[in-house]
Structure 1
Amino acid sequence: MSKKAVCILSGGMDSTLAAYIAKDEGYDIIAVHFNYGQRTQNKELESFRNICKDLEIEQKYEIDIPFFTQIGASALTDKSIDVPTQGVKPGVPITYVPFRNGIFLSIATAIAEKEEAQALFIGVVEEDSSGYPDCTDSFIKKMTSAINEGTKESTKLEIKTPLVKLMKSDIVKKALELNVPLEHTWSCYKEEEEACGVCDSCRLRLNGFKEANAVDPIPYKAN
């Protein structure tokens, strides 16, 4: 019997690499994408669909979560809050979406239970979390415990975080090694046509490519 994994796939570089690692480990992938009112929602959805084609994923879920825009409190979902472009500062940044990964993992768990999957892949990275509390190894371990406590006895889910301890440059190198179509991935928090190059996410991505001595294939606005 084939083993199945639910992969939370945002369309970004990290989650895409995590899905390629799942494939490399022999899992049949069920892809899950969330439209949650983020500024680059359309671009991320386009990236997700392209990556599903690249990976030849047949089973995919596109889930709408409208309530994040109702609660706001994040520069990603509230357009009245500017996305910071001055570089990473200490503390939890304004781009943190309240308990987003906890909610994503809960929904993905329901799908995994229905699909009788054995694993759930998420591309969280502690270094890149920029102070996001829901991207830590410790949080994922506790979520795994809660998930297995709150599902059927026959559901035994492992949350796999193959990138959690990697630096962004390691992620770029690993992605190139696995022939991940990085031109189909999107990381920018602000723009959908050309990446801004100055938000925290763009800075981390560009720095990762620079340290890996590689060229980022996506378009950036000229600085």
Structure 2
Amino acid sequence: MPPRIVVAASGGLDSTVLAYDLVNAGHDTVLISFDYGQRHRRELHAAGHIADELKAEHEIVDLRGLSRLFAGSALTDSAVEVPARPYTPQSLRTTVVPARNAILLSVAAGAAASRGIGEVAFAAHGGDHPTYPDCRPAFVEAMDHAVRSATEGVGDVRISAPFVGWNKARIVERGHRLGVPFALTWSCYRGLERHCGVCSTCLERRGAFAEAGVIDPTVYGEGRG
């Protein structure tokens, strides 16, 4: 029987497809989400809906105190606007939460070790590489090494990122084949009632569906919420 796996589940499209992919492969998954004071906390509700669909265990870890330490990121600092078009490398850097994945994966690895689960999977993909250093292959390799060292003999946990070499369109294609309920997932960084349709993550989402030739079920508000 395939081993149990902890999935770092944001409620977004990528981590949802990852969870479905692992379940399809026969794994028993435990979804762990993180409330780190992000502007777009709606994603946590999305993660809960996905867990219900998969009938998977779901934990939300309260890390809201971290938001005070992450000043300057549009995701956690209300004084910083989520960038709008036209996008530049500099403006997109405002959506970086420094070392976020290192922190979250460390917590997930500790939880996995405590439960006797030997793997934590997260859904970094190729489209994240230019902007987010903690989604690049070098980070995955380094984080895997660090976690293996930290849990040696007390869980022996590894970190995996099955989509690290994929683009988002390929993830959408895979999710479509798996019957992923894309409408339940959340991508928008603005924290509105609907996807704004114009922030960088919404545009990436829209573009991925278009490139994959899959109907996008998302209701967009075109920036009005």
Q: TM-score range by the shorter chain?
A: over 0.9
**Segment of structure 1 superposing worse, 149-158 or 2-11:** 149-158
Letter of the structure 2 residue corresponding to residue 135 of structure 1: C
SS at match of 1:63: strand
SS at match of 1:93: helix
2:58 aligns to what? Answer: 60
Q: How does 1:77-88 map to 2 (within 5 A)?
A: 77-88=76-87
Is residue 31–residue 61 contact of structure 1 (8 Å, CA) maintained in 2?
yes
SS at match of 1:67: helix
Cα deviation for residue 102 of structure 1 reads: 0.2
Cα deviation for residue 146 of structure 1 reads: 0.8
Count how many residue pairs are aligned between Structure 1 and Structure 2. 221
Is residue 5–residue 118 contact of structure 1 (8 Å, CA) maintained in 2?
yes
1:185 aligns to what? Answer: 185
2:109 aligns to what? Answer: 109
Cα deviation for residue 99 of structure 1 reads: 0.6
Q: Structure 2 vs 1, CA of residues 159 and 198 (structure 1 numbering), >3 Å: closer, same or farther?
A: same
Letter of the structure 2 residue corresponding to residue 70 of structure 1: R
Cα deviation for residue 215 of structure 1 reads: 2.0
Q: How does 1:99-178 map to 2 (within 5 A)?
A: 99-178=99-178
Cα deviation for residue 155 of structure 1 reads: 2.1
Runs of 4+ in 1 over 6 A off after TM superposition: none
Letter of the structure 1 residue corresponding to residue 30 of structure 2: I
Q: Structure 2 vs 1, CA of residues 87 and 211 (structure 1 numbering), >3 Å: closer, same or farther?
A: farther
Cα deviation for residue 69 of structure 1 reads: 1.8
SS at match of 1:191: coil
Structure 1: state its 5+ residue gaps: none
Q: Which has the higher helix share?
A: 2
TM-score (norm 1): 0.93
The percent identity for this pair of structures is 34
Cα deviation for residue 40 of structure 1 reads: 1.4
**Segment of structure 1 superposing worse, 67-76 or 197-206:** 67-76
SS at match of 2:93: coil
- Alpha-carbon distance in structure 2 between the residues aligned to 1:190 and 1:196: 7
Structure 2: state its 5+ residue gaps: none
Is residue 87–residue 203 contact of structure 1 (8 Å, CA) maintained in 2?
no
1:218 aligns to what? Answer: 218
Cα deviation for residue 162 of structure 1 reads: 1.5
Q: Aligned-pair RMSD on alpha carbons?
A: 1.6
Is residue 93–residue 130 contact of structure 1 (8 Å, CA) maintained in 2?
no
Deviations along 1:107-148, one digit per CA (max 9) or x if unpaired, are 000010011112111011132344111001110111111111
TM-score (norm 2): 0.92
